[in-house]
Amino acid sequence: MSFARLQMKIDEVRNPTVLGLDPDLEHIPKEILEKYVHQHGEGLEAAALAVYDWGTALIDALCDIVPAVKPQSAFYEQLGSIGVMALKRTCDYARAKGLYVILDAKRGDIGSTAAAYSSAYLGAVKVGNLSVAPFDVDALTVNAYLGSDGIKPFIETAVQFDKAVFALVKTSNPSAGELQDKLVKGTDERFYSLVGDLIADISKEYLDEAGFSRVGAVVGATYPEEAAFLRARLKNTFFLVPGYGAQGGTAEDVAVAFNEERKGAIVNSSRGIIAAWKKRGGSYTEAARDAAFEMRSELRKAVY
User: Per the residue annotation, which of 9, 70, 106, 152 is the catalytic one?
Assistant: 106
Question: 240: left (phi > 0), else alpha (psi -120 to 50), else beta?
Answer: beta
What single-letter amino acid sits at 143?
Answer: N
No. of helices (H) and no. of strands (E), the chain: 14, 10
Instruction: For residue 116, count CB atoms less than 10 angstroms from its CB and return exposed for 0-12, middle for 13-18, buried for 19 or more.
Output: middle
CA 117/CA 91 separation, integer angstroms: 17
Catalytic site includes residue 106: yes
Q: Find, among 142, 254, 148, the residue nearest to 197 by Cα.
A: 148
> Which helix (H) or strand (E) segment is 211 a member of?
none
b/e per residue, 266-282, with b = 16+ CB within 10 A? Answer: bbbbbbbbbbbbeeeee
CA 248/CA 242 separation, integer angstroms: 10
DSSP 187-209: SS-BHHHHHHHHHHHHTTT---T
Residues 6+ apart with CB under 8 A from 29: 54, 277, 284
CA 120/CA 133 separation, integer angstroms: 7
List residues with catalytic annotation. 106
